Amino acid sequence: MLQISVSLENGPMRAKLEKLADAVRAGAFDQPVEIAAWKAEAALVELTPKKWTGMTRKSWSVKKVTAGSRLIFNSSKVMLFLEGGTGQSTGGYIYPRNARLLYIPLNVRASYGWQKGFVFGKDYVLAKRVKGIQARNIVRDYTPKAMALLKDEMKQFLRRVMT
């Protein structure tokens, strides 16, 4: 919390300082923080790949945690793999843990698990290992830009308050 205490007899300067003191109270920073959060969320949506259904991109949300703070998050599990990558601990490959081969479905029907009647090569394939995906580091790379965005919004807010 920010505390300012100044004693002045000068009327115009005192009025400006009182205006500034009112502006920095807890709930007053809500507006610039919210604007910066929405701009950051829009940028993260654009940076997230749209491939196939676009659900990972649509899963970005902004949540108000407390007055003057926002949480930008993605509720999709796929985003964890996009951000951190897969197979990093095993040299970039994913190996089976409980079976000899990995089951890879080739269509939607086969994605629910193997059933009698499936044709190898048409419905599914088996592999000893598969290549993991590279980490995209979308959030990590955008964090400094989001902080700069918040800083700019706060500067604009304080300029509006002081005029």
Query: What is the mean pLDDT of the segment spanning 146-152?
Result: 94
**What type of residue is 125?**
V
Q: What is the pLDDT of residues 52-91, one digit of tens each?
A: 788 999 999 999 998 888 999 999 998 998 898 887 777 7
* Confidence category of residue 112, pLDDT binned at 50, 70, 90: very high
pLDDT of the residue at 74:
94
Structure tokens at 105: 């479905």
Residue with tokens 């951190």: 84
Name the residue with higher pLDDT: 94 or 1: 94
Query: What is the mean pLDDT of the segment spanning 117-136?
Result: 93
